[in-house]
Structure 1
Amino acid sequence: MRKLRFTKMHGAGNDFIVIDGTTHDLSQLDSSLWHRLAHRQLGVGADQILLVEKSSKPGVDFKYRIFNADGGEVEQCGNGSRCFVRFVHEQGLSTKNEIQVEVAHTVLTLKRLHDDQVEVDMGQPIFNPTDIPFDPSGLTNKQEMHETLYALPLSQNSGAHADWIAVVSMGNPHAVQIVEDLDSAPVLIDGPLIESHPAFQKRVNAGFMQIINRHEIKLRVYERGAGETLSCGTGACAAVVSGIRRGLLDSPVRVQTRGGELQIAWNGFGAQVAPSVMMTGPAQTVYHGEIDLDTL
């Protein structure tokens, strides 16, 4: 039997299976297994799977990889990064409160605070369409303060399109639109259409934001390969950055998700060089377990 030890965790309701790859060889495990493991009826169940690994970069403490519930590997996960900090502390892998972690395209700085809160330097937001990646060819656009908005067609036959979207990457791509009422927003209808729209070569996370006031929003996100999640850390960062660039929000911003609250700070309005986005939020351990992989 092939036994795999894991920890079930969540960050504001965004739930993860976290696995220690620093002492175990996980190279023989593939995306189909991650998909089965994440299945909520037939496996453990999770939005994403996080693999903790050793980093090859000098001065960097760890590396971690992220797999969505469909088994596909993605670049970044804000809520997962907070859970990562708590995991390495609880597993005795590090005693440092501030940790440098390598992800797909960058190095994150993670800092454990009091009351199970974790602060993450999420790095600079990316706006260049090519780097997101996003192809705006043929799309109607308009300028709103420092943000370019796009009318994204969702159906060629009906002519329907998403409300004006802002496109930004936090290491993974996001399309953010403002809605008047989040509870009635067509997240489960438009979300899959936006996620798989051909303008996004690597698919996209679809964010739906309701502005409460200049320092508070509500947010729902339909994530690539996972569907709607209770919270999305990078989605919260992308939404706040977009709102600030549109002149609608002021840093810091409290983000209410269905799974909990996040605090996002970004002082990049009108800046020549975009500063890092700072995210603070909870990280909780749910339970530790072991599963026989041959049963999946």
Structure 2
Amino acid sequence: MYSTELGQLAGQPFAKGHATGNDFVLIADPNAEIDLSAQQVAALCHRRFGIGGDGMIRAVPTSKMPGYEQLADQNPDAYWFMDYRNSDGSIAEMCGNGVRAFAHFLIAEGLIELLVGQSFYIGSRAGIKMITRIADGYAVNLGPWGLIFEDKAEADSIDSLVKPRGWDQALPALSITMGNPHTVVALPDGGMLDALDLFEEPEVAPKPEHGTNVEFVVPNEPLIEEDGVAQIKMRVHERGVGETLSCGTGACAAAAAVRYWARGTALINQWAVTVPGGVVGVEFRANEAGGEDTILSGPAELVARGVIGAK
């Protein structure tokens, strides 16, 4: 199966990249000539029969992405579109680590020029996103976060129950949207976090309409260090992928949830989120609309290049 699907892509150049261990197969398609099926994406991302990755990213002009022509017309600066797919071939709205890897790939391919301190825009299924190159990576404005089940969350700060594999008791959780869905669970200590079995998708009830990523988070003690940055640790089961070493939008959702739970004590805007693949930064910043944007920052790198071979 996998050899057949990959054979259909013979001769296609690719790069392999990651952002804090969240890894991707990246393909440039400047003429929008590649129509990838879910089966082909799953074959590319398979860790035994394919290249291997948590997801696949295709760089295509926004104006040539079916269904997003109007987005291109309204946002001419967002020339490139991040066509992101999960490793099982399913479509995802957004991937925060993927955006950083995507930016790094565009620069490495010579498709854009971006100096430290400069910014550019991309199109995505979650709308237009601004990326800024920083000294040690990239900062991505993911826009506002929100509560998926707002009425219930406002009442008791939880809106769902999550039961990990092997647990008899479900845990209270809060569902956050970052343009894609997340369900965040707070745990009391790092030992419980380390012992979680996230091989299978945790049970979530109620589950957001299009499924959800599930984040388990442990706040640091004390939560805020001397530099004023709040510290949390997180593991994640990604929708359509499984457990990953990092999830950028998940880190933002985890910080947003802990911040929401702690809103009666202090409004914390700077966060450091430790994931198995490293550390990412999350900042909540007021915007011109009177709300606040969520800024994700961290490194990204390419680790390999190749050409898909014939069967």
- TM-score w.r.t. the length of structure 2 is 0.81
CA shift for structure 1 position 187: 3.9
Q: Which of 233, 236, 244 matches 2:248? A: 233
CA shift for structure 1 position 255: 0.6
1:247 and 1:262 map into 2 onto residues whose CA distance is 20
Structure 2 regions of 5+ residues with no counterpart? Answer: 1-6, 64-71, 225-229
- RMSD across aligned C-alpha pairs, in angstroms? 2.5
Contact 2:32 2:60 in 1 (8 A): no
2:166 is aligned with 1:149: no
CA deviation digits over 1:144-176, x for unaligned, max 9?
5xxx30341649xx9731x22111110110000
Matches within 5 A, 1:1-296: 2-23=10-31, 25-27=33-35, 29-56=36-63, 57=72, 58-96=76-114, 97-115=118-136, 117-129=137-149, 143=155, 148-152=157-161, 154=163, 160-161=169-170, 163-185=171-193, 187-188=196-197, 192-194=201-203, 197=205, 199-212=207-220, 213-214=223-224, 215-247=230-262, 250-267=268-285, 273-292=290-309, 295=311
Closer, same or farther in 2 for the Cα pair 1:257/1:101, shift >3 Å? same
1:128 and 1:119 map into 2 onto residues whose CA distance is 25
1:142 and 1:113 map into 2 onto residues whose CA distance is 36
Contact 2:148 2:208 in 1 (8 A): no
Whichever residue aligns with residue 174 of structure 2, its letter is: A
Closer, same or farther in 2 for the Cα pair 1:246/1:201, shift >3 Å? same
CA shift for structure 1 position 193: 2.7
Task: Report how many aligned residue pairs link the two structures.
Answer: 274
CA shift for structure 1 position 99: 1.4
3-state SS of paired residue (2:97): helix
Whichever residue aligns with residue 27 of structure 2, its letter is: I
Whichever residue aligns with residue 68 of structure 1, its letter is: N
1:60 and 1:13 map into 2 onto residues whose CA distance is 27
Closer, same or farther in 2 for the Cα pair 1:153/1:110, shift >3 Å? closer
Whichever residue aligns with residue 226 of structure 1, its letter is: V
1:191 and 1:210 map into 2 onto residues whose CA distance is 20
CA deviation digits over 1:56-112, x for unaligned, max 9?
212212111111111101000000101111111110101134110111031000011
